[in-house]
Amino acid sequence: MPIALEQLVANGPVITDGAWGTELQARGLDPGDIPDLWNLARPEAVAEVAQAYIDAGSQIILTNTFGANRIRLGDHVPASQVPEINRRGVQLSRQAAAGRALVFASIGPTGKLLLTNEVTPETLATAFTEQAQALAEGGADALVIETMADLTEATIALEAAKTTGLPVVACMVFDTGKDKDRTLMGITPEQAARALTEAGADAIGANCGVGIERYVPVCRRLRNATQRPVWIKPNAGCPTVVEGRITYNTSPAEFAAHVPDLRAAGASFIGGCCGTNPRFIQAIAQSLHPTAFEDSTLARRGREGGQAQQGLHEPEDSTGSEAAPR
Ligand SMILES: [Zn+2]
C-alpha cells in the first residue's frame, strides 16, 4: 500500500536530502557530464551520496534521476536505456537506505519549452509517463516533480506521475520578479498551489530558488493556498562564480538558522537544493531535533569514531516514543 504523506508529517517536519550533482562532482563527475548516467557507469558513487545523506539525518532521500527523461537524455543514451537508468537510480537509493529512509524518486523538467513549441504536450506526457513508470518499478515510495518553472509542464508531469498510484510531490522554483516570488514563467505560489492541488498532488512545494530566507514567505503562501503538506528545499543562496567555479554563499549554520521560521511558516518537509550538502542536512536535523541529536547521533558518532551509521531519528521511529521536543 502506498505511504500516506499526511500521516508521515503528522508529528512535525520530515528531513529530506540536499544537492546530488555537486556531491557526484566531488566524487569525480565532470561538471559537463550527465549525472544520471552514473546510475549505470558509477553506481557505487551514487550509492555513496545517498548514504552520506542518510548518515547526516535524511529521513527521505531522493534519487539520481532528476534529468533521466528521454527528452533530456536525448542522444546521450539509446532510448531503450532510459527506463533502466531510472530503475537503477531508485534501487541505488533504496539499497543505501536499507530501511532507514524513504526513497522519493526525482523527476526534473525536460529543458524544452512548450511556450515556443519546442516540444508538444503529448511528447512531454510520453516522456514523463515512461520515467514515472520506471521509477515505480524500481521501488520508489513516492515521486517528486521538482525545479519546474512552467505550470503546464509541471501539471503534465504530475498527471503522468499519478498513473503509478504512488504519492506525488509537485514543486516549482520561485526565483523571479521583484520579490523573487514567481517562477520564470510568472507563476505565483498561490497559482501553483491551487493548480497542483487541483491536479491531484499529494504535497506541494518549492525547491531551489534564491536561498532559504526568501522561501519562508513562499512557504507561508503555499501553506495558505492548499490543504496538502508543503515541501521546501531551498538552495544555499545565490550562486556566484569564483575562479570559474560555482559557489554558494550560505553556510550550513546560516541555513539552519532559518529552519524554525520555515517550520513556523508551515513546512512539512525540509531539505536543501543546489549548494547544500550533508553538513546542511545535519544542521537542519540539529535545529529540528536538538535533543535527539545530542543524545543519539553525537554520542554514537563518538563511540564509532566519527562515523554516524544510523539515521538520526531511528530511536524515535522504532519505539514510537518521543524523547525530543519537535
Ligand atoms: Zn537547485
Percent of the chain with pLDDT over 70: 89
5-288 CATH pick, 3.40.50.300, 3.20.20.330, 1.20.1560.10, 3.40.50.10490: 3.20.20.330
Q: How far does the centroid of ligand 1 lie from the alpha carbon of residue 7, in Å?
A: 27
Mean pLDDT of the chain: 90
In this predicted structure, what is the pLDDT of residue 292? Answer: 67
User: Each residue of 188-234: pLDDT tens digit?
Assistant: 999 999 999 999 999 999 999 999 999 999 999 999 999 999 999 99
Q: How far does the centroid of ligand 1 lie from the alpha carbon of residue 224, in Å?
A: 24
Q: How far does the centroid of ligand 1 lie from the alpha carbon of residue 300, in Å?
A: 32
Q: How confident is the model at residue 31 (pLDDT cuts 50, 70, 90)?
A: confident
Give me the residue spans of the domains in the chain: 5-288
In this predicted structure, what is the pLDDT of residue 131? Answer: 98
In this predicted structure, what is the pLDDT of residue 303? Answer: 43
Q: How confident is the model at residue 61 (pLDDT cuts 50, 70, 90)?
A: very high
Q: How far does the centroid of ligand 1 lie from the alpha carbon of residue 323, in Å?
A: 34
Q: How far does the centroid of ligand 1 lie from the alpha carbon of residue 304, in Å?
A: 33
Contacts for 308-315: CB closer than 8 Å, 24+ residues apart: 308/55, 308/56, 309/55, 310/100, 311/54, 311/57, 311/58, 311/59, 311/100, 311/101, 312/15, 312/57, 312/59, 312/285, 313/57, 313/59, 313/289, 314/100
Weakest-pLDDT range from 23-32, 60-69, 312-321: 312-321
Neighbours of ion ligand 1 (CB under 5 A): 208, 235, 273-274
Is 231 within 8 Å of 173 (Cβ atoms)? no
d(CA 223, CA 207): 15
Q: Which among 223, 214, 206 has a CA at the least distance from the CA of 177?
A: 214
d(CA 30, CA 38): 11
User: Each residue of 282-323: pLDDT tens digit?
Assistant: 999 999 988 765 544 444 544 444 333 333 333 333 333 333
What are the Cα distances from residue 130, in Å, to 82, 109, 163?
8, 14, 10
Q: How confident is the model at residue 242 (pLDDT cuts 50, 70, 90)?
A: confident
Kindly tell me if the per-residue pLDDT of 47 is higher than 80: yes
Residue in the block written with cell 511558516? 265
Q: How far does the centroid of ligand 1 lie from the alpha carbon of residue 173, in Å?
A: 9
**Which backbone phi and psi does 177 adopt, to 5 degrees?**
95, 170
Q: How far does the centroid of ligand 1 lie from the alpha carbon of residue 25, in Å?
A: 15
Q: How far does the centroid of ligand 1 lie from the alpha carbon of residue 207, in Å?
A: 7
Rounded (5°) CA angle 248-20-155: 100
Is 34 within 8 Å of 46 (Cβ atoms)? no
What is the pTM (predicted TM-score) of this model? Answer: 0.89
For residues 35-51, give the mean pLDDT: 98
User: Each residue of 147-164: pLDDT tens digit?
Assistant: 999 999 999 999 999 999
Q: How confident is the model at residue 1 (pLDDT cuts 50, 70, 90)?
A: confident
Q: How far does the centroid of ligand 1 lie from the alpha carbon of residue 256, in Å?
A: 17
